[in-house]
């Protein structure tokens, strides 16, 4: 044991406390005890002068008590201590003597991070992971000294301060910036002269306000920009967003943006996810969505003031898995070319196709930095005026929502070729004609809402083939005849069929007297 340098015991079922003798191995450089069940307090002492420990991995353990004294490890470079039950306060005293510290992860803990506003850390970190560890309410001023940092995550810390102007000059070489899920106020004050190399900027779930600066050309490496759910960002979208040629995800949802979509956004040809829902944007949905931007998996424009027809160029989005144009003023018919959305034909058998994770690599000063941005938002499905979270992760859903518009004409039969659809909402439009006979081909549907239209004729027997349907609403149409028999159809509340005076059969109170029972459904072929 006297020459032991590396000890890796992570991912086992170790319990109790860490043997005190481990800290007395005077040659130990790396200790990995992560992802165990170690649940005692950490009291760390050593007999080793100038202990050589450089890497300490203790994350994902239910340690109790107070944060340990690590200043005895003056050579420490990497400290990963996330997701424990350690309590109390961490102060600058806990970091004294750690001048070589480079990687710090204290995220998802219950202790309070409390240092003075004048603290000058002895280290200059490359990666800072301090999410969910009570860092607020003030914006941490010591970050201005971290000029070597490439990854910064201080999300979910109840920071209610504004972002100081020095921050935008400090982060010029940061690859990943996550300040989401705080209460950060004020404007986005990016210095128009700053050249920021960040690949990800996540500022969602804050209280930012004002207009967006027109200096996005200074962030030419940006691949993920998320300013969603600030609620008070306003004004028109700046044309310089179109200079973000590497952008893969643009989320500006739940704000007060207005105006038409600037045509410059068509230059963002690598976009995979575009979420502009819940704003006051208006005008036609431009044809360049589908012409210039062709790789979209997610397109959410819900709850705006878009008008005119649904452009047929959307049918070119063969990778599209989530289309939400609901709550707008769209008119005309549903394009028959909707069958060209071929990704919605692919049943993944539980393997998600939308990764909704963005990986990017940047080369800065001849060093390569890899980062990942994972989005944990959930899909919102509207039913009877209420909004529901659908499924556990957005990545599992293939969905079309065109509800609450002014669409007319028939439901195109071509839509029944999208056999991987999990959610289809065409409610609150002016659709006419029959429900497509082959609707049962959409056997993966969990959610089907065709309510509040002018649909007529009988309910196709094939609908009974959709075994896992959990939400069905055909109310307020002109449907007639007997509700087909099926394992699910009779289990729904009668309100799912109400408002169709000529419709009869269980679960409606009016029976279809004298009518023969519906024959068992069979699969319709194309």
Residue 221 within any structural domain of the chain: no
Coil, helix or strand at residue 515? coil
Residue 307, in any domain of the structure: yes
Closest to 151 measured CA to CA, from 367, 465, 407? 367
Q: Does residue 411 surpass a pLDDT of 50?
A: yes
pLDDT of residue 462: 95
- Categorize the per-residue pLDDT at 198 as very low, low, confident or very high, splitting at 50, 70 and 90: confident
Among residues 123, 139, 160, the one where a domain terminates is: 123
Three-class secondary structure of residue 219 per DSSP:
helix
Convert the pLDDT of each residue in 318-345 to its tens digit.
999 999 999 999 999 999 999 999 999 9
Tell me which residue of 174, 102, 183, 93 sits closest to 137, measured CA to CA.
Answer: 183
438 has pLDDT over 60: yes
**What percentage of the chain carries pLDDT values higher than 90?**
79
Q: What angle do CA 290, 294, 296 make, to 5 degrees?
A: 100
Domain end, chosen from 104, 123, 142, is at: 123
Report DSSP letters for 403-468, one per residue: -SSEEEEEPPGGGGG-TT-SEEE--SSEEEEEPPGGGGG-TT-SEEE--SSEEEEPPPGGGGG-TT
Backbone angles phi, psi at 128, to 5 degrees: -125, 110
Confidence (pLDDT) at 396: 58
For residue range 290-319, what is the model confidence (pLDDT) as tens digits? 999 999 999 999 999 999 999 999 999 999
- Residue 173's pLDDT band, with cuts at 50, 70 and 90, is confident
User: Model confidence at 219, in pLDDT bands (50, 70, 90)?
Assistant: confident
In a domain, 493, yes or no: yes
| Lowest mean pLDDT across 124-138, 190-204, 508-522 | 508-522
**pLDDT per position as a tens digit, 444-467:** 999 999 999 999 999 999 999 998
Three-state DSSP class for residue 234: strand
pLDDT at 279 (0 to 100): 98
Whole-prediction pTM: 0.89
Strands 322-324 and 298-300: parallel
Final residue belonging to a domain, choices 106, 123, 140:
123
Confirm whether 163 is domain-assigned.
Answer: no
Confidence at residue 196, expressed as pLDDT on a 0 to 100 scale: 81
Q: What is the mean pLDDT of residues 57-82?
A: 96
Domain with residue 46: its CATH number is 3.80.10.10
- What is the Cα–Cα distance from 19 to 21, expressed in whole angstroms? 5
Cα 391 from Cα 408, distance rounded (Å): 30
Q: Residue 109: which domain range?
A: 1-123
* Cα–Cα distance, 209 to 40 (Å, whole number): 45
| pLDDT range class, residue 395, cuts 50, 70, 90 | low
Q: Which of 27-36, 146-155, 222-231, 348-357 has the lowest mean pLDDT?
A: 348-357
Q: What is the pLDDT of residues 260-276, one digit of tens each?
A: 999 999 999 999 999 99
Rounded to whole angstroms, how far apart are CA atoms 40 and 71? 20
Pick the closest to residue 217 from 191, 187, 256, 235 (CA basis).
Answer: 191
pLDDT for position 356: 41
- Cis peptide, bond prior to residue 137, ω within 30 of zero: yes
pLDDT at 371: 42
With respect to residue 188, please indicate whether it lies within any of the assigned structural domains: no
Chain-centre distance for alpha carbon 20 = 43
Q: Which residues contact 193 (CB under 8 A, 6 or more apart)?
A: 218
Q: Would you say residue 162 lies in a domain? A: no
Q: For residues 197 and 152, give the distance between their C-alpha atoms in angstroms, rounded to a whole number.
A: 13
Q: Is residue 235 part of a domain?
A: no
What lies within 8 Å, CB to CB, of 350 at 6+ separation is: none
In a domain, 255, yes or no: no
Given a cut of 70, whether residue 524 has pLDDT beyond it is no
pLDDT tops 50 at residue 502 = yes
Distances in Å between the Cα of 261 and the Cα atoms of 251, 264, 305 are 14, 8, 12
500: nearest Cα among 453, 439, 430: 453
Flag whether pLDDT at 115 surpasses 50.
yes
What percentage of the chain reaches a pLDDT higher than 70? 87
> What span, in angstroms and rounded, lies between the C-alpha atoms of 204 and 225?
9
Encoded tokens for 443: 């056997």
Task: Among 15-19, 191-195, 265-269, 516-520, name the one with the lowest average pLDDT.
Answer: 516-520
- Tens of pLDDT along 5-41? 999 999 999 999 999 999 999 999 999 999 999 999 9
Please count the structural domains in the chain: 2
**155, 134 contact by CB (below 8 A):** no
How confident is residue 348, by pLDDT bands cut at 50, 70 and 90?
A: low
Higher pLDDT among residues 113 and 391, named by residue: 113
- The CA angle 105-107-109, to the nearest 5 degrees, is 130
- Cα–Cα–Cα angle for 76, 82, 86, nearest 5°? 95
């Amino acid at each position: 044991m006297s020459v032991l340098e590396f000890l890796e015991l992570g991912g086992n079922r170790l319990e109790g406390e860490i043997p005190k003798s481990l800290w007395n191995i005077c040659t130990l450089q790396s200790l990995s005890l992560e992802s165990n069940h170690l649940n005692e307090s950490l009291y760390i002492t050593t007999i080793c002068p100038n202990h050589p420990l450089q890497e300490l991995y203790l994350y994902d353990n239910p340690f109790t008590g107070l944060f340990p004294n690590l200043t005895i490890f003056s050579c420490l470079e990497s400290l990963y201590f996330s997701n424990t039950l350690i309590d109390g306060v961490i102060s600058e005293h806990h970091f004294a003597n750690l001048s070589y510290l480079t990687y710090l992860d204290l995220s998802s803990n219950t202790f309070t991070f409390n240092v003075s506003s004048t603290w000058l850390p002895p280290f200059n970190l490359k990666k800072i992971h301090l999410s969910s560890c009570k860092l607020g309410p003030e914006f941490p001023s010591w970050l201005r000294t971290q000029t070597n940092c490439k990854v910064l995550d201080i999300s979910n810390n109840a920071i209610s301060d504004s972002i100081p102007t020095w921050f935008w000059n400090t982060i010029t070489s940061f690859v990943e910036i996550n300040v989401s899920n705080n209460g950060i106020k004020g404007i986005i004050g990016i210095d128009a002269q700053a050249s920021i190399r960040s690949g990800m900027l996540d500022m969602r779930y804050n209280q930012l306000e004002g207009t967006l600066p027109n200096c996005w050309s200074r962030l030419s490496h940006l691949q993920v920009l998320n300013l969603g759910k600030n609620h008070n960002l306003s004004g028109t979208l700046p044309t310089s967003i179109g200079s973000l040629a590497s952008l893969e995800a643009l989320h500006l949802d739940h704000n007060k943006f207005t105006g038409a979509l600037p045509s410059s956004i068509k230059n963002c040809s690598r976009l995979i996810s575009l979420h502009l829902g819940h704003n006051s944007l208006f005008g036609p949905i431009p044809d360049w969505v589908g012409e210039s931007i062709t790789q979209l998996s997610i397109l959410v424009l819900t709850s705006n003031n878009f008008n005119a027809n649904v452009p047929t160029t959307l049918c070119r989005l063969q990778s599209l898995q989530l289309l939400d144009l609901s709550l707008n003023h769209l008119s005309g018919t549903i394009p028959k070319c909707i069958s060209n959305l071929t990704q919605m034909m692919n049943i993944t058998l539980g393997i998600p196709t939308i990764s909704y994770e963005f990986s990017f690599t940047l080369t800065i000063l001849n060093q390569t930095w890899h980062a990942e941005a994972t989005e944990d938002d959930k899909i919102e499905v509207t039913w009877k005026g209420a909004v529901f979270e659908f499924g556990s992760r957005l990545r599992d859903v293939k969905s079309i929502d065109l509800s609450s518009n002014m669409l007319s004409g028939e439901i195109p039969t071509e839509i029944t070729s999208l056999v991987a659809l999990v959610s289809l909402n065409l409610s609150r439009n002016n659709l006419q004609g029959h429900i497509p006979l082959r609707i049962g081909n959409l056997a993966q549907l969990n959610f089907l809402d065709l309510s509040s239209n002018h649909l007529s004729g009988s309910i196709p027997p094939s609908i009974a083939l959709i075994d896992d349907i959990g939400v069905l609403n055909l109310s307020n149409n002109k449907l007639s005849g007997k509700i087909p028999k099926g394992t699910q159809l009779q289990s729904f509340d009668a309100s799912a069929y109400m408002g169709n005076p000529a419709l009869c059969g269980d679960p409606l109170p009016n029976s279809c007297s004298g009518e023969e029972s519906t024959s068992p459904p069979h699969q319709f072929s194309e």
